[in-house]
Amino acid sequence: MLTLIIGFDTKSAAALSKCMIMGASTSSVFYNLRVRHPTKDVPILDYDLALLFQPMLMLGITVGVALSVVFPYWLITVLIIILFIGTSSRSFFKGTEMWKEETLLKKEMAQAQTTFVNSRGELLIDTEYDPLVPREEKTPMQIFCSNLKWKRILVLMIVWVSFLLLQVIKNDVKVCSVWYWVLFSLQFPIALVVFWYEAMKLYKDYKKRMNTGNLECICEASIEWTVLHIVFCALCGILGGTVGGLLGSGGGFILGPLLIEIGVIPQVASATATFVMMFSSSLSVVEFYLLKRFPIPYALYLFTVSVLAGFVGQLFVRKLLRILGRASIIVFILSGVIFASALTMGVIGIERSIHMIQNHEFMGFLGFCSSQ
């Protein structure tokens, strides 16, 4: 939209969109902290998955921001089209599956609530069923406090501050000097240590539960926490961050569908993805600011608008969920937004690329050191 409506070039739009994503995700996180988990008495934010994906996302973002300096316009356009169409298609099919499951569940619940009468007009009561125990009512402040896990948040903040300090120090060092690459490389061990700690925790808990015959999920994800799945999550985290840094699309376009794919319910997937995006997008904003990639007045204005839009969006979706009683609507909204982005950016990108070819503009890769 920044490219189509206002006329920003792709690279400036990527930087400004990060400001918007940071504003929307911050307001969404604040809203979600006042919302209960739809089915369990646990936080709506899955901190285990947040700690697993956040380091990889932030590592990918620093790589993506660096690549955004080098990659030509046409390649960024091609990547947008491929990634967004693939992600939106997969999300749509996942949403369709969820819709069918919800329809089946609604029919079963309707049948269970039907009162059966025998031939003599007597009510048939099944005494095998225990009465349902209502959930304990909580005040908004109790819900807010129960959704906060300060130790986990502290770890996430330490990772964020570590990456931020490296970016600030790196900005004062000559580009492509020895110290520049040393500081750039230090991001890898920081991210890998936190990821390894959380991955080993999930793996050991999974093995322990399997050995004791406990089939309950460790976290909100329903997948088996094998080595292969852990490696897959790491690669997806890095990919999401790289795409977010390169295209300014936000790691949520990868993380949101990924969380749903591994079995997280849409409400928790949405809340957790925006929580992680709040950290990752704010880091991107700092990096783009240090690279002097966006005008400050536009950034402040769009950030403010996005904060308000985040609140309105959360209120709208929550009311829609209460009316329809279907969580799959979140997946369809996500899929539709991603597909619309692919369509609009694809059309504009192709048009601009043709214009660049006709004007014989340079369309190759730029040198990383010379273009800083």
Average pLDDT, the chain: 79
Q: What is the pLDDT of residues 67-85, one digit of tens each?
A: 877 888 788 778 878 877 8
CA torsion sign for 298, 300, 305, 310 is: positive
Q: What tokens does 22 get? A: 């940071």
Q: What is the pLDDT of residues 242-296, one digit of tens each?
A: 877 776 665 666 777 778 777 788 778 888 888 888 887 887 787 778 777 778 8
> How far apart are alpha carbons 40 and 135 in whole angstroms?
9
- pLDDT score, position 216: 64
Per-residue pLDDT at 174 exceeds 50? yes
Q: What is the pLDDT of residues 190-229, one digit of tens each?
A: 888 888 988 888 888 888 877 777 666 656 666 678 888 8
Backbone φ and ψ for 123, nearest 5 degrees, come out as -70, 135
Beta bridge partners of 347: none
- pLDDT score, position 123: 45
- pLDDT score, position 128: 45
> How far apart are alpha carbons 348 and 343 in whole angstroms?
9
Domain ranges of the chain: 1-73+143-210+221-328
Contact call for residues 288 and 294 (beta carbons, < 8 A): yes
- What 8-state DSSP symbol labels residue 192? H
Q: What tokens does 332 get? A: 């369809």
Among candidate residues 195, 189, 182, the one with its CA nearest the CA of residue 156: 195
- pLDDT score, position 50: 86
Max distance between CA atoms of the chain, in angstroms, equals 91
- pLDDT score, position 217: 63
Instruction: Give the other-Cβ count within 10 Å of 20's Cβ.
Output: 24
- pLDDT score, position 129: 42
> How far apart are alpha carbons 163 and 347 in whole angstroms?
36
Residue 337, C-beta contacts closer than 8 angstroms, at least 6 positions apart: none
Among candidate residues 106, 37, 33, 34, the one with its CA nearest the CA of residue 264: 37
- pLDDT score, position 35: 82
Tokens 């590592």 appear where? Answer: 59
